[in-house]
Amino acid sequence: MPERAPLGVPELLELDRRHVWHPYGPMPGRAEPLVVESASGVRLRPADGSDDLVDGMSSWWSAIHGYRHPVLDEAVREQLGRMSHVMFGGLTHEPAVRLAKHLVDMSPEGLEHVFLADSGSVSVEVAVKMCLQYWRSLGRPAKQRLLTWRGGYHGDTWQPMSVCDPEGGMHGLWSGVLPRQVFVDAPPVEFEEAYADLLRETIERHAHELAAVVVEPVVQGAGGMRFHSPGYLRVLREACDAHGVLLVFDEIATGFGRTGALFAAEHAAVTPDVMCVGKALTGGYLTMAATLCTSRVADGISRGEVPVLAHGPTFMGNPLAAAVACASIELLLGQDWQAEVKRIESGLRDGLAAAAEIPGVRDVRVLGAIGVVQLDHPVDMAAATRAAVREGVWLRPFRDLVYTMPPYVTDDADVARIARAVCAAAREG
């Protein structure tokens, strides 16, 4: 192998600033990112030689088993010895087939067919496409709008952006250009009959033009880290059934145990017509997501004038990603993951109780392995991040939120440390 001169941290940062886009970042870059040299267990190792940081973010919900897990490393290595990628058109392979079977077996009853997308946003694009195409196939092309509640987040490509909150959300820049969807207010935390009525009435009123309702069940993630009653999911299911509208659950953040149920839909015992998963699907190892649908949706599409789902990314069904996804799911289901998530939930509840006393804190909430402190002012991201790093923890506060969703393998001492860091960030942000 050719020798490669290592780059020092200052040089890396300068090149990064000049050439590399970061999420929601300007160019050239303004913020100074932390250079990570490696990661292991729940710890990130900074390249500047400073102390390891406990990862309170699971790399945005994904690294549920931590980093460099021996079982997952081995799954990738083993698959690498066979093939890292092969086209999925006309070919298939064991990792993809096994993954589809795992997903069908573990998902709410009735979801039978799996499209292996390459990112969460694409899985939502595919979900929307499935719904629109379903109604076209049934001779109802007017049913092409989507209903959602405000405060959602579904990704950064076009259709997903259109169901994010156009005014309060991250994609306000594009309001007026994106497809115009139907919005209702964000759901209240507790079940309120008046809000349930609003959902029912809006679905009924727009049913003639609605292809689907698209929501994040139980937890609205990047749009505001809000929780809501699972009762609303039952209301959506009943109203969608009554008025001929499909129901899509975006479980990209909530899936694979994060809320204490394998999928948040289980809190309401509801099966959506289409479900998107991603993030923790591969244990955070590789980019892969999936869109699952019922036979009703798949059969509907197959009966249409164009009887195929016209979507086929180059890296669809990537064998490396599929192999590590299988290993991650087997690892999760092979242990008492509920106990681990409960343990983290109670650690976060104990540790974050102190946050309620901090001046400027508006709300503290915990569900499963998710802890949120909401401020009454926009957080100073740099100051809050520095405060967390001083406590030995990596967090990514944003808007008015300091929040954490640790890997499920985080031990009690590290959960307590993360909670202390969240409090420090809330105090100093």
Binding site feature residues for pyridoxal 5'-phosphate? 120-121, 250, 313-314
Q: Which is nearer to ligand PMP, 196 or 252 (CB)?
A: 252
Beta pairing class for 401-404 and 393-394: unpaired
Shortest Å distance, C-beta 339 to ligand PMP: 25
**Binding residue positions for substrate:** 60, 153, 279, 312, 396
Q: At closest approach, how far in Å is the CB of 223 from ligand PMP?
A: 8
Q: Which of 118, 165, 250, 414 is catalytic?
A: 250
User: 285 an active-site residue?
Assistant: no
Q: What are phi and psi of 248, to 5 degrees?
A: -115, 125
Minimum separation from the CB atom of position 23 to ligand PMP (A): 9
Return the beta strands (E) in 31-180 as ranges: 36-40, 43-46, 53-55, 111-117, 145-149
Give the residue numbers of the binding site. Answer: 60, 120-121, 153, 250, 279, 312-314, 396
Is cis: bond before 359, omega within 30 of 0? no
> Shortest Cβ contact with ligand PMP: which residue?
120
The residue ranges that bind ligand PMP (CB under 6 A) are 119-121, 124, 153-155, 216, 221-222, 250, 252-253, 278, 289
- Residue 24 annotated to the active site: yes
> Which residue type, as a one-letter code, is found at position 320?
L
Provide φ and ψ at 297, rounded to 5°: -70, -45
Q: Which DSSP category does 174 fall into?
A: G
Q: How far is the CB of 118 from ligand PMP (least distance, A)?
A: 9
Q: Is 232 one of the catalytic residues?
A: no
Which ranges of 86-184 would DSSP assign to H, the alpha helix?
A: 94-106, 120-137, 158-162
Nearer residue to ligand PMP within complex by CB, 253 or 265? 253
Assess whether 143 carries a catalytic annotation.
Answer: no
Token code pair at residue 82: 């066979």
CB of 151 or CB of 278, closer to ligand PMP: 278
Q: Confirm if 218 and 150 have CB atoms less than 8 A apart.
A: no
Residues 6+ apart with CB under 8 A from 120: 155, 252, 276, 278, 279, 289
Greatest CA span in the chain, whole angstroms? 67
Q: Kindly name the residue from 232, 273, 279, 400 that is annotated as catalytic.
A: 279
* Closer to ligand PMP by Cβ: residue 124 or 323: 124
- The residue from 153, 195, 285, 403 that is catalytic is 153
Minimal distance, residue 170 CB to ligand PMP, in Å: 10
Active site residues: 24, 153, 250, 279
